[in-house]
Every structure is written in C-alpha cells, then in structure tokens.
Structure 1
Amino acid sequence: MSGPPVGLGVAALAHVLGEPVDVAAAAAAYTQDLDRLRSWEYRAFHRAGPGVGVTDLAVVAGGTALDRAGLSAADVDLVVLAIPDLAEYLYWDPAAHTQARLGAHRAEAVLLNQACGGGVAAFDTVAGRFATHPEYRTALLIGANRVCEPYWNRMEVNTSVFSDGAAAAVLVRDHDRCRWLATETITDGRYAGFMRMPVGGAAQPFTPDGGTPRVGDPADRLNEFFAGDVRRMFRFVATIRERNRQVVEAACARAGVTLADVSRFVHFHDNARQFAELAKDLGVELERTNVELALAHGHIGCADQLIGLERHLDSGELTDGDLVALTSTGSGMHWVCTLLRV
C-alpha cells in the first residue's frame, strides 16, 4: 500500500456550541408539520445568541484547538474556514477575518463554501497546500455554522434540524495521531440548483420592497426542480444513497484499505431514518455511526464530523490504529469522504 502524498495528522480538536434547546419545546415556533419533525427523532439543537456570527464561533473553536495543541496563532501557516451558510456580510471574506481575529497574521486564509461537506473536504485542501508549500507545517481547519434565520428555517428547509456551532482541528505535518490517509469527493452539478435561493444574487438581487425571501420546503423544491416527474425524483434520492457508499469505497481504494476495515463512520448529522439507510447502504451496524450524537445536537453544518471525531476519541470509542471515515453529503451536489488512521 502506498502512503498518502503528504503526511499530516490531527494534533488537537475543539468545538463550541450555541445554547441547547429542546426540539419538542421549540418546534411550534418553526414548523406546523410536527409529525414529520417527530419522525426525525432529534432531541435537541443549539442556537447562538443575538449578535453572535459564524466567525465569532469559528474564532472560539479555533483558539481553543490551538491552546489544546500547545501552539500559538503565530505558529499557524494556513487557516481554512468551511461554512455552509451566509457569513455576517456580503462582499467580505470571513476566512481572512477569522485569521486576523485569531492573530494568525502570517497564515494564508482559505474559505470553503461548498455546503455541509466543507469540513470533510478541507482535509484535501490542507494536504494540497502542504504538498505545494513544503514550508507549511501547521494548519487550522475550522468548520462552522450559524443559521441565517431570516432566510433559512431550522426545521423546514431540509430533513435536518439545524444548529449553531463550530469545530476546529489543528493539522500538523508528519504528526502521527489521527493521520490523514485520503479524501475523495464526487460532484454532480446537474443538481446544483436544488437548494438555490431564488433571489439575492446577481441574477435577481434583493430589493428594498421585495420582502424577506426564504429557502423553500424540500418537498416543494423537489417537485419544482424535477417539474413533477416522480421517476426523476426517485432517481435523485437513489443517487444520493448510492454515492454515499461510492465515495467511501473510492477513498478506501485510494488509501489501500477496504470498507470493512473502517471502525467508525462519522456522518453529517442527518435524521434517524437517513442514518438507518446509510448504515444499510454501507453494510454496517448502526452503532458504528454517530447517529446518537447527531440526534442529541442537531446538524451543525461543516462542524459535525470534527465534533464527532473529538467525542469518539474522548470517549474511547476510537482508539489507536482504528480507521475512521468522515463522510458528508452537501448541496451542489457533493459527496465527500476523508479517511483517518487514529
């Protein structure tokens, strides 16, 4: 088996979450479809306070991770910020802002905004920068989410309950803990418009009298995107499931391992039914996933997998030598898998 092109590992992890909120208690404020919400089986989600932005969360998580690694911001060569939603401002770089607030003034800053798989795909971004910049030794990878509530309903826009929070990983060249083995991404741009907000961009700008547009209900978007063609809708859903497995198999092939070698699958915080289908499609026990963590905290965008990795390491569910797959599906559509050897 040939090794990865660049040696890097995870030296420290940290996360920050908004205030915990009981899903059942808050549900009526977000949705009228309480039966659908109950079927997802989420117990709680996290909501940041007024005035707390995505970069505020990113800075806390990033700074804590550096402290845990025994490093200062001056040691950082690369800051990668992955976010799935809007940042605090338009025409503004939240990655550069995060770099400055951390005090990592000599670090390159990179922004990833490819939906909820960004925190997983970012490992490849770090490995690529390390390959082309041999002087880089330390990277700070941050996945963060702050729901933009005027446009995005936490409980109706998708099949997850969305949370606010951030997680960070300090990645160090040649570090021998949680070593990166491979990252694979499958992209199918035919579905790029599925999550698209109809106004707010250059093609259809916001206007002062245009009201407050919102991303629509997933069932309505599905029907509109596929023009009511039920067969195409079913093919789309089948494609999502097939590629969840295909991207893991591709990452395993690149790393010279098999899917059966993977000890744990840390997926984005989808609902209970989707986790059951994922386990079935992968041919693994549900207990080898992070389903309980997902239902306890909600979907925290690009932070899910880093939070799961931290929790499973701290609990002893992942130990030396274990192979872990960080996986995600994101609008675009993207399917991503990163393999790490603990």
Structure 2
Amino acid sequence: MRLTRPLRIVAARTVVPDTVETVTEAVARGALAAEDVSATGYRQLPVSETEAAPELAVRAAAACLAAAGLDAGAVDLLVHAWTYHQGHDFWSPAHYVAHGLGALRATALGIQQMCNGGAAALETAAAWLQADPRLHTAVVTTADRFCAPGFDRWRGDYGLWYGDGATAALLRSTLPGEAGRADWTDEGSLDLLALRSTTAAELETMHRGRDGFSRAPHAHGGTVDVRRTKKAFLEANGKESFARTVRLRVPELIRSSTAEAGIAADDPGLRCVVLPRIGRTALESAYVPAVALATGAPALDLGGLTGHLGAGDMLAGFAALVDQKLIAPGETALVLSAGGGFTWSCAVVRRPAPASPAPAGTARQARPRQARPPQARTERQACEH
C-alpha cells in the first residue's frame, strides 16, 4: 500500500490476563508433552479465566486512547480482528468494542483473516484514512481467547501455542502541513512508513485438509484440531513445501516494503525485524532464514511470555518496540505478521525524532549495528539489547 498521507501509530498496547500457565505446569498436568517444551521457545501462556476476547479488546483500546489523551468521541473508525470464537455465534464483536469504548459515532468493521487479521485490520484502517480526508483517527483492535472446550491451546496445533490477549493501535493521519499538530505525541508513537502484504492462496488447504464442508461449527469435532488438517497438508505436499514458500515470499515482501518506505534493507538505521509469535521451530526452520535472505537486521522473537496471540502478533510487536525500547528515535524496524490462507504482511515503522532538541547530555547515542545471531532472539534477549 502506497501511503499518500502521513500516518502515525500514536499508541499501541497489549493487554493479557493476569492468570498464566507455565510450560512446567502444562507438562505436569499432561497438557504439553515434555519433548515439545524446547520446540515452543516460550515460558508461559496467558489464560483468561473470566474475560471474553472482546472485553479484553475494549481494555486495550481504552489504554491507547488514555495514552494519547484522546476522547473516544474522536474515533472515526474502529476495526476489530480475531481468529477464534468471540463469545457469541451470530453477532458483531467490532460493534461491541466500539460500544464498550464509547466510540459510538465510529464506523465499526470486523476483519476475519486468521492470524494475519491484525495486519489486515491495520491495512484497512490505513486505506480508509488515506481515501477520506475527513477521517483522522482510527482504532485497530484484536482479541482472542483460546479456551476449552472448543480449543486446546497447548495441543491443538503443530508448533504453535496460543495465549489469550488483546492488542490495540491508535492510528492517526494528517493533511499536508499538519505534522506539527499539538495533539500528536512523540513519546510512545511510531510513524508508519509502509505496509504491504503477499498471499499464497494455494496454502489454504493447510487449515482445511481433506475435511468436507460442514453445516455448522465444530461438526468435525468438539475441539478445533489443526493438527489433523496440517497432517493432511504435509502428506499431500511434503514437509518442506511450506518452508520453501516462506523463504520465497517473505524476502520479496521485505524488499518491496523497505523500498516503498524509501530505505535500503541493509540500512544501518534498520535495527530489527519483529517476527510473528509462532514458536521456535517454525521461526528457525522458515522465518529466520527467510529474513536473512533480505536483511542483516536482527530477527526478534518476542513471544516468550505470551505465546501466539492469534490475530494480534503485529500490533503486539508495535507495543513491544516502544515498551521495551528496542528502537531509538530516528531508528526503523520491520514487523512481520502471518496467517492461514496464507498471507504475510510487513509494516515498516520508525520512532519519530523528538519535536525539540533534548537538553544537553540526554541525547541517546546511535548504537552500533550488531551482527544477526544464528537464530531468532528471545523476548528476554531483546529486553537486554
């Protein structure tokens, strides 16, 4: 998507429940096989005992508005994305989030594009803000709750472990000459320089397998069984087919995204590539090698405390970039998202430079580029960076 108006992610937030289940606890109760612990690369998953996914989304969106000092009445557009059941069968969770937030005049849209839904929602919001000069403020939310009996967060999939949580991003646009508006804050914000997606629709069979079309949800079984459909896909296409596609499509996506942002893939100001939170095995077998084909920037796995957040991985990546101070003002990062179908998205973001010179002695020095490690760095390593 070519951005014709400046777009800023004024705030981004990740909200997860206080209750967690560690991998040690999951193994002890038989929910996770001991031999799978190293494959996760993660230490725990957040578990929502009481709050539904849309309720978590309202909290995340409210936190964004509070951080920006904006009233919900200023929101022109609210786009909500999800992967799994939102609590009701025939209903609009996007309108619930708008209602709960108090954004009663905002147009509410729902996006269901599997785990790339957050990126698709952001792309939709950006397109609306680009197309209509009367619109200035959009809130993008995601939320998922992967609970029993319909979903097994530890054993329902190969190589993915699903955490409950919500994410939100407050996106604002300006007209030419408005970049200095007083209600735009630099602290905690990111400028969106480019946002692109690519699709390999032939991979839709990975989540369909050999199953016929059913007449109602869960007709193929009471619990979602992604392993069954993935096993059928691997038997038909081979174990290396998906990794080959990732290594073809993701480098192309990174190169086209950085080119659209007007930066080189080897630019020293490109500090890192934030990976989707899909587990150590998938990242190291497919995504880390794919990233290395396009850029030497370090690849970060930030899912150690959350696991995979369904549709929320991209927006959670935005929040982590700021909260963990992974990039300094003037520095750039790529945030990748992936979802069944299959679609990959890449956002290029930059921490805006301070609006006014910092006092003497407080300027942060540019950090020397570090060599990319042979595997994705963990959340703890990223925090120590």
Task: Give TM class, smaller chain.
Answer: 0.7 to 0.9
Asked if 1:190 corresponds to 2:189, the answer is no
What is the identity, as a one-letter code, of the residue corresponding to 1:193? T
**For residue 266 of structure 1, what is the aligned residue in structure 2?**
274
> Aligned equivalents of 2:307 and 2:330: distance in 1?
29
Q: In 1, Cα distance between the equivalents of 2:220 and 2:203?
A: 27
Higher helix share: 1
Q: In structure 1, list runs of 5 or more residues that go unmatched.
A: none
1:1-342 paired onto structure 2 within 5 Å: 4-18=3-17, 19-29=19-29, 31=31, 33-50=33-50, 52-156=51-155, 157-174=157-174, 177-196=189-208, 203-206=214-217, 212-218=221-227, 220-225=228-233, 228-229=235-236, 232-261=238-267, 262-277=270-285, 278-283=287-292, 288-291=298-301, 293-342=302-351
**For the residues of structure 2 that align with 1:159 and 1:317, how far apart are their CA atoms?**
26
Mapped partners of 2:66, 2:32: distance in 1: 44
- Which stretch has the larger CA shift, 327-336 or 244-253? 244-253
**1:226-280 residue CA offsets vs partner (Å, 9 max, x unmatched):** 5x34x54422331133322222222122223222233221222121233334233
Cα-Cα RMSD: 2.6
SS at match of 1:120: helix
Distance 1:198 1:106, change over 3 A: farther
The C-alpha deviation readout for 1:132-171, integer Å capped at 9, x for no partner, is 2211111111122211432321122231211011111111
Q: For residue 160 of structure 2, give the secondary structure of its aligned residue in structure 1.
A: coil
Q: 1:108 to 1:22 in 2, by over 3 A?
A: same
Give the TM-score normalised by the residue count of structure 2.
0.79
- Could you say what secondary structure the match of 2:303 adopts? helix
| Mapped partners of 1:206, 1:138: distance in 2 | 36
- Code of the residue aligned with 2:327 in structure 1: it is L
Structure 1 residues 221, 327: closer, same or farther in 2, change over 3 A?
same
- SS of match in other structure, 1:336: strand
- Which range moves more in the overlay, 35-44 or 99-108? 35-44
Cα distance in 2 for partners of 1:263, 1:56 equals 34
Q: Which has the higher contact order (CA 8 A, sep 6+)?
A: 1
- How far is the alpha carbon of 1:33 from its aligned partner? 3.1
**1:168-212 CA-partner distances (Å, limit 9, x unpaired):** 11111135741112111111222223224988x9743259xx695
The answer (yes or no) to whether the contact 2:141–2:166 under 8 Å persists in 1 is yes
CA distance in 2 between partners of 1:127 and 1:217 (Å): 32
Q: Pick closer, same or farther for the CA change 1:56–1:168 going to 2, 3 Å.
A: same
Q: Count matched residues.
A: 332
Structure 2, gaps ≥5 residues long: 175-183, 352-385
Deviations, residues 32-69 of structure 1 (Å, cap 9, x unaligned)? 5320233322111100013x211000001101110111
Counterpart CA distance in 2 for 1:224 and 1:202 is: 15
Aligned-residue offset at 1:217? 4.9
